[in-house]
Amino acid sequence: MRRLVIVGASLAGLRAVESARRNGFTGEIVLVGAEEHLPYDRPPLSKAFLRQDGPAHVVPFRPERELREELDVDLLLGAPAEGLDTTAREVTVAGMGLPYDALVIATGATPRSLAGTAGVAGVHALRTKDDAVSIRNGLDAGARTVVIGAGFIGSEVASAARGRGLPVTVVEALDVPLSRAIGSEAGLACAELHRANGTELRLGTGVSGIESTGSRVTGVRLDSGAALPADLVVLGIGVTPATGWLEGSGVDLHESDRGVVCDATLATSAPGVYAAGDVAHVANPLFDGELMRLEHWTNAAEQGAAAARHAVDPAGARALATVPYFWSDWYAHRLQFVGTARADEVAVLRRDDAGLVALYRRGDRIAGALTVDRPKEIMKYRKRIADSGPWTEALAFADAGKASATA
């Protein structure tokens, strides 16, 4: 194998580069990225970077010299992939065919937009470095902020605004925030965090449009006809996998969202093509082979490394069986989640110290756990999930922790 092409200058794409070199690949590596920026860390964009005392710059994972000289990578930045020919083994970039012997797809996902917001200043999604800079500028100017969508990204933006003492309203179409992601029981606890910190919640409320004057946002119009004044509107209404360039390529795409379908080794339906990160639906052996598409930092890092390792050494490919993990920071609280929220039962245990544990059961075993301000416990639950630990033992462990917290 002479050339490995990685499409997506993301965390998953960078880990793929590093993994290929670490596993002895000495051929050519080409890293293709839609953004002009070098690969950088995305979680801080909605966390530390938006805080008033947060860092003023987004620093890339590695300087360009390291990528080009130490890792010997050819960088094609600011040039999104436009198509894929799996028969000829070529990626189309800037109208030109880029041949590959093996390919890793790490193009991530694209934020959903709201109709009528194109070209309206002050309305932003939060996915890229440029998005984060625009939102931070708005917060620096003291913007009245409306967040559409009470997911993790939107909630982190709300937290940053409240940390600056700014008024913020979160509008959510669901009656309970995050009920699809972590269940309604835990979602109610998350709603309490918002209210306790002065964030106004409009739940079970739809948005009919954006109001603007002179191409600058002035408010958000609700389905009820009411209008919320706003200088800054952040869209947190989800993402879709960035796979438009794969349509018609022969790579199987999931019927629900057009994400790339992979087996447990991250291989796609096309020979020599692997996928990793937000873009990929991957079969997870720990959860009965369930296809999971995860938008988490840890997942992107693990899958990016594994995809490249398998791409350069297909004979050594092994199923990737890991317990998903992610975290989120709200109002000086740390939320952490391991496993899956697709469960037969959810048990929520509150703590007198304002902490919380929610456990998720599948059959007779623990399948997931959410903690708030319990950082010493979360990885113990992750190990129990990896070991297919009994549900009764997980409950007993949680009850013991509750007793300890209240002692």
Residue spans of the domains in the chain: they are 3-110+240-316, 113-237, 332-406
**Same-fold call for 113-237 versus 332-406:** no
* pLDDT digit string, tens, across residues 75-88: 999 999 999 999 99
At 91 the pLDDT is 98
Is residue 403 scored above 50 in pLDDT?
A: no
* pLDDT digit string, tens, across residues 23-45: 999 999 999 999 999 999 999 99
Judged by DSSP in three states, 79 sits in coil
* pLDDT digit string, tens, across residues 181-240: 998 989 998 999 999 999 999 999 999 999 999 999 999 999 999 999 999 999 999 999
Is residue 404 scored above 60 in pLDDT?
A: no
Share of the chain above pLDDT 70, in %: 97
Which amino acid is residue 207, in one-letter code? V
Q: What is the DSSP string of 336-364?
A: EEEE-S--SEEEEEE-TTS-EEEEEEETT
* pLDDT digit string, tens, across residues 158-172: 999 999 999 999 999
Query: Domain 332-406 carries which CATH code?
Result: 3.30.390.30
What are the tokens at 234?
Answer: 């952040």
Whether domain 113-237 has CATH 3.50.50.60: yes
Compute the distance between CA of residue 287 and CA of residue 218 in angstroms, rounded to an integer.
Answer: 46
399 pLDDT band (50/70/90 cuts)?
A: confident
At 402 the pLDDT is 62
Contact by Cβ (8 Å): 108, 278: yes
Q: In what order do the strands lie in the sheet with 81-85?
A: 81-85, 90-93, 96-99
Judged by DSSP in three states, 398 sits in helix
Single pTM value for the model: 0.95
Contact by Cβ (8 Å): 300, 311: no
Q: What's the rounded mean pLDDT across residues 263-271? A: 98
Query: Domain 3-110+240-316 carries which CATH code?
Result: 3.50.50.60
Of 30, 5, 63, which is closest to residue 272 (Cα–Cα)? 5
Is residue 406 scored above 70 in pLDDT?
A: no
Q: What is the DSSP string of 189-224?
A: HHHHHHHHTT-EEEET--EEEEEEETTEEEEEEETT
At 141 the pLDDT is 97
Contact by Cβ (8 Å): 246, 261: no
For residue 245, what are the contacts with CB-CB under 8 A and spacing of at least 6?
80, 81, 82, 83, 84, 92, 107
What are the tokens at 244?
Answer: 């438009």
